[in-house]
Amino acid sequence: MKPVINLVIFFLLIFHTTTAQITKEQKSEAIDSVIKLMNERYIFPETAKQIELHLRKQQTKRAYDTITSADAFAAKLTADVRSICNDKHVGIRFSPEPLVIDRSVNLMQMPEDEKSGYAEFLRLENYGVRKLDILKGNIGYIDFKFLCGTEYAGDFYAAMMNYVQHTDALIIDFRRSNGAMSDNVIPFLCSYFFADKIHLNDLYWRERNFTQQTWTQVVVPGKKYLNKPIYILTSGATFSGAEEMTYDLKNLKRATIIGEVTGGGANPGGSVVLTKHFRMFLPVGRAINPITKTNWEGVGVQPDSLTTSRLALHKAHLAAMNHSIATTTNGLWKEELKRLVAEVQKEIPVVVNVEFRLKGFPNAKAVSVAGSFNDWSPSSVKMKRVGDEWVVQTVAEPGKHMYKYVVDGNWILDPANNVTGNENGHTNSVIVIK
């Protein structure tokens, strides 16, 4: 079995807000299916029982009776499940198109008829690489949107690693990375950073009571990237497989982590159809690091150097060049690096303080604001109740930003702001920060 570490990215890509209405029978069917599948397959059986009790109590309290929107119901059901398990991988979504219910399908494997379309998607997405560059001072830079399997991107990733092979340090940008879509990509990439075979991670699967180990490879295509600094950039939006690679390299003391605490999702799984119009991302495994004997679930990966995500690249770039200054024996290059450091120091991103206020919602348990200013992380900018409002102060770069409030898992427009914009099929509130 080859587990897919994070199929949730596809889950998000196919999700579009709709205005579909939902019946009482459809709600009951979805709740029953969630309870059944959680009890049968969720990685923590005891927690699944607690979720069942909570959802039945919610039904008794008629908590879902007044919800008529299918999307609102899915958001409420997701929030209720997460309130017990605190598992950010868990998510229920509504599909306006009818879904095929087939319990015999292995949710950890992609159906054969979808593989060709998947391969084309990966090609058009440049296999998850947003940017590959050599920064000032001979510093390599790779910006990942996501990681995908070597069966699709092995040659591409090998060429990428060989492109940066001559650099004096490497910056890996996971600030906007949703995760990994295969169990083989993280050991493949990490193999470039170690001379010997290294134990990276274990994945425990409830089904068959099975533990799967992942190790680096001694041989890689091209040259290895050894004895040179690696910096990983993180934000509150860094999630799942991107967190695993960050966590692995941090605990092996092979990378310096710079940025924000990550999202906190360590339980791999896959998408499963609940009913004709609802599907759920169901975690069926959990990560176990061989060094810490635990993982980052619910707590995220703690950076070595904590800073706002907007300043992380600048800080890592300076750190990498200063390391080169301290280690190079080339006098001319040392002087050039000093000049470049002074140049880059002047290029620090400008961020200003900004305040968000949301009136109402007195009974909400968790409220946050997410937008382009924080890589749409629903957890990094949490709001506090002050009087009759939810309030938070954060920082953002000057300019136009789209945003939404997240109230107990529900993404909503700012009711006090009638300026909106559309992006990727979603309507968002818009703010201009000066």
- In this predicted structure, the answer to whether residue 387 has a pLDDT above a threshold of 60 is yes
Q: How many CB atoms lie within 10 A of CB 144?
A: 26
- In this predicted structure, the answer to whether residue 16 has a pLDDT above a threshold of 60 is no
Predicted pLDDT at 65: 94
Predicted pLDDT at 9: 37
* Tens-place pLDDT, residues 292-322: 999 999 999 999 999 999 999 999 999 999 9
Predicted pLDDT at 109: 63
- In this predicted structure, the answer to whether residue 112 has a pLDDT above a threshold of 90 is no
Predicted pLDDT at 388: 95
Q: What is the arithmetic mean of pLDDT over 47-51?
A: 97
Percent of the chain past pLDDT 90, that is, above it, reads 83
**E strand segments, 57-153:** 91-94, 129-135, 139-144
* Tens-place pLDDT, residues 50-87: 999 999 999 999 999 999 999 999 999 999 999 999 99
Q: How many CB atoms lie within 10 A of CB 319?
A: 18
- In this predicted structure, the answer to whether residue 371 has a pLDDT above a threshold of 90 is yes
Stated pTM of the model: 0.89
5 band by pLDDT with thresholds 50, 70 and 90: very low
- In this predicted structure, the answer to whether residue 212 has a pLDDT above a threshold of 80 is yes
**E strand segments, 55-206:** 91-94, 129-135, 139-144, 169-173, 199-205
* Residue 307 to residue 312: CA distance in whole angstroms: 6
Predicted pLDDT at 105: 57
- In this predicted structure, the answer to whether residue 342 has a pLDDT above a threshold of 50 is yes
Q: Any residues with CB less than 8 A from the CB of 373 and at least 6 apart, and which?
A: 310, 354, 394, 395, 396, 397, 401, 403, 433
- In this predicted structure, the answer to whether residue 3 has a pLDDT above a threshold of 80 is no
Quote the mean pLDDT of the chain.
92
Residue, of 1 and 145, whose pLDDT is higher: 145
Predicted pLDDT at 2: 37
Domains of the chain, earliest start first: 17-94 (no CATH), 119-268+284-345 (3.90.226.10), 352-433 (2.60.40.10)
Q: What is the arithmetic mean of pLDDT over 227-231?
A: 98
* Residue 42 to residue 360: CA distance in whole angstroms: 35
| Of 207, 129, 148, residue with least CA distance to 7 | 148
* Residue 63 to residue 368: CA distance in whole angstroms: 22
**Token pair belonging to 154:** 């092995």
Q: Are 140 and 164 in contact (CB under 8 A)?
A: yes
